[in-house]
């Protein structure tokens, strides 16, 4: 019977030693009771000898020797000389007879730590890419605005060149059947076009509204910065459509300031749409500009038309 018990103990001890996790048990005073090979192997790294009591292990973990590094990105985790990473944990356990022991375990987390380090590095690179993308978006917006200005200047130059050519031909008698009034009208158109290209989005909106006999009613504070420009561009599109399709005489705008954005609702007093509005032309271009800026746009057709845009402050 004693032989069988000894055999059972040896089998259990051998299985205990084969565990991939390092395990050691101490009595309430910190004296070692049972320890497997994996924990003995780690103790060689910690103090070049087999562990005897809990206190020396805790002291070694609190102030690791050369070659053992405590990692800051995982709790109770250390990198050993062989490049493996182990995470220690201390718990209290009780056996069937009610005896209490201190259990110290160490699980190898080398691969987990590698993945966490890689994830942190990837997140850092993503943050850098996001910053670069943000700067790039600023540059793209600046380039787009500059292109608009250059296109306007080019068109203005062509218009003036055409007027000069016509005037020269008229004065040289090369144009027959053309009266001086016609030449003057071309100059008036060119000058008016030049003035329009120099107007801001806000100035152009109120200029067009006044010429069309449409009153603009705005409630709320005007957005600041580029958000204001986008709002007036949206109002311009709504004004054009209100005049063309709804025969409106008033454009109503409500502005709400939120924590990180402005919400703008635009409507008119014209006739309601007969069916759902299909975006195209002005509305399609407007949506592209709003969404490129990080905002949103909702078009309501029925029962009455309204356009709601949300524009980020930054």
* pLDDT tens, position by position, 88-117: 999 999 888 888 999 999 999 988 888 888
Ranges of H-type helices in the chain: 2-17, 37-47, 54-62, 110-171, 180-197, 201-212, 226-241, 282-292
Q: What is the pLDDT confidence band of residue 5, given thresholds at 50, 70 and 90? A: very low
Position 4 scores a pLDDT of 42
Percent of the chain with pLDDT strictly greater than 90: 19
Q: What is the pLDDT of residues 22-36, one digit of tens each?
A: 999 999 999 998 888
CA 196 to chain centre: 37
The reported pTM is 0.42
Q: Pick the residue with more confidence: 295 or 3? A: 295
Percent of the chain with pLDDT strictly greater than 70: 77
pLDDT mean over 299-309: 88
Position 250 scores a pLDDT of 92
pLDDT, the chain, mean:
81
Q: Which strand ranges, in their side-by-side order, compose the sheet holding 250-257?
A: 215-219, 250-257, 261-268, 306-312, 296-300
Q: What is the pLDDT of residues 116-169, one digit of tens each?
A: 888 888 888 888 888 887 777 666 666 666 676 666 666 666 666 666 776 776
20: its two tokens: 């991939």
Q: Which of 145-149, 173-177, 193-197 has the lowest mean pLDDT?
A: 193-197
Report the residue count for the chain: 314
Residue 194 CA: distances (Å) to CA of 184, 269, 305 = 15, 32, 33
Position 278 scores a pLDDT of 81
**End-to-end CA separation in angstroms for the chain:** 82
Position 163 scores a pLDDT of 64
Q: Which domains does the chain have, with CATH numbers?
A: 2-108 (3.30.450), 201-314 (3.30.565.10)
Phi, psi of 267 (to 5 degrees): -145, 175
């Amino acid at each position: 019977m004693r032989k069988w018990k000894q055999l059972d103990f040896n089998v259990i001890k051998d299985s205990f030693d084969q565990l991939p996790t390092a395990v050691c048990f101490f009595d309430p005073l910190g004296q070692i009771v049972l320890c497997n090979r994996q924990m003995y192997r780690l103790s060689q790294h910690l103090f070049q000898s087999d562990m005897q009591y809990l206190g020396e292990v805790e002291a070694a973990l609190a102030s690791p020797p050369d070659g053992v590094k405590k990692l800051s990105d995982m709790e109770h985790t250390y990198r050993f000389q062989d490049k493996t990473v182990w995470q220690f944990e201390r718990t209290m356990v009780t056996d069937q007879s009610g005896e209490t022991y201190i259990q110290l375990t160490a699980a190898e987390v080398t691969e987990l730590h590698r993945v966490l380090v890689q994830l942190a590095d990837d997140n850092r690179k993503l943050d850098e890419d996001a910053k670069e993308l943000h700067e790039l978006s600023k540059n793209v917006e600046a380039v787009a605005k500059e292109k608009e200005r250059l296109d306007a200047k080019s068109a203005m130059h062509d218009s003036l060149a055409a007027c000069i050519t016509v005037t020269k031909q008229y004065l040289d008698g090369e144009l027959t059947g053309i009266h001086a009034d016609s030449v003057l009208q071309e100059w008036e158109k060119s000058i008016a076009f030049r003035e329009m290209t120099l107007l801001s989005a806000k100035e152009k909106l109120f200029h067009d509204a006044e010429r069309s006999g449409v009153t603009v009613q705005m409630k709320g504070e005007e957005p600041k910065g580029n958000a204001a420009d986008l709002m007036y561009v949206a109002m311009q599109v709504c004004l054009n459509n209100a005049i063309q399709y709804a025969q409106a005489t008033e454009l109503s705008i409500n502005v709400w300031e939120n924590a990180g954005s402005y919400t703008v609702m635009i409507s008119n007093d014209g006739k309601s749409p007969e069916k759902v509005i299909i975006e195209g032309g002005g509305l399609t271009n407007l949506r592209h500009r709003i969404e490129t800026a990080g905002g949103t746009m909702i078009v309501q057709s029925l029962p009455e038309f309204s356009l709601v845009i949300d524009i980020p402050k930054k």
